[in-house]
Amino acid sequence: MTELLEITDPVEALKSTFRRHASGVAIITTVDTDGSPVGFTATSVTSLGATPPLVSFNVARGSSSWHALSNASHVAIHTLGKENLTLAKRMAEDHTKRFSFDDWKTGENGLPIFDSATSVLIVRILQIVNVENNAVMIGSVESGLLGVEQLALLYHQRAYVLPGEIIS
């Protein structure tokens, strides 16, 4: 059998192993208590069962989006494709410039919607679980919006990647 290399430092263990794990890229948006749009690129969006339809995602409580998220009734979760690369990068950089282009509109519940996304879920926040300086946010899907289908955008080994060979 293969010999595995032990990593005793837990921070290094997390970093080394997640470098080998890929994830889908999403953008989560909401509206702050003063009405301003807030959003960020996330790689932690996952389903939490289909009946009832629930989702979860993780967020750092020190992030620029935290004030809005922790007060939000709803969020919009956008799944992204190949054509959203520039948007994914913008929503991960300087938070004061994330909504400075004319590529979004205000949708249901005042949520900022990027209609170039491959799809959007309108989600009601049910529960926020604080864990150290992070939070797991759990939400209930209320409806969805389907955009143009395209190759999904992935994040892997600190790079944006497209799906390749289908092996099964």
Residue 141 found at the interface with a second copy (CB under 8 A): yes
Residue 71 found at the interface with a second copy (CB under 8 A): no
Under rule CB under 8 A, how many of the chain's residues touch a second copy? 88
State which of positions 111-140 bind a second copy (CB under 8 A).
113, 115-116, 118-122, 126-127, 129, 131-134, 136, 138, 140
The span from the CA of 143 to the CA of 165, in Å, is 32
Helix (H) or strand (E) holding 3: none
Return the residue of 36, 71, 73, 162 that touches a second copy, per CB under 8 A.
Answer: 162
Residue 100 found at the interface with a second copy (CB under 8 A): no
Residue 73 found at the interface with a second copy (CB under 8 A): no
Q: Which residue has the tokens 């950089």?
A: 93
Residue 161 found at the interface with a second copy (CB under 8 A): yes
State which of positions 13-32 bind a second copy (CB under 8 A).
13-18, 20-24, 26
In eight-state DSSP terms, residue 102 is S
Q: Measured from the CB atom, is 36 or 148 closer to a second copy?
A: 148
CA dist 79 to 10, 105, 136, 140, Å? Answer: 31, 16, 19, 16
CA dist 133 to 88, 136, 141, Å? Answer: 24, 11, 26
Residue 160 found at the interface with a second copy (CB under 8 A): yes
Residue 101 found at the interface with a second copy (CB under 8 A): no
CA dihedral 109, 81, 167, 144 (to 10 degrees): 20
Lay out the site mask for a second copy across 37-66 (x = CB under 8 A, - = otherwise): ------xxxxxxxxxxxxxx-x-x------
CA dist 12 to 6, 7, 17, 73, Å? Answer: 11, 7, 8, 36
Return the residue of 7, 36, 93, 106 that touches a second copy, per CB under 8 A.
Answer: 7
Radius of gyration (C-alpha) of the chain in whole angstroms: 17
Residue 109 found at the interface with a second copy (CB under 8 A): no
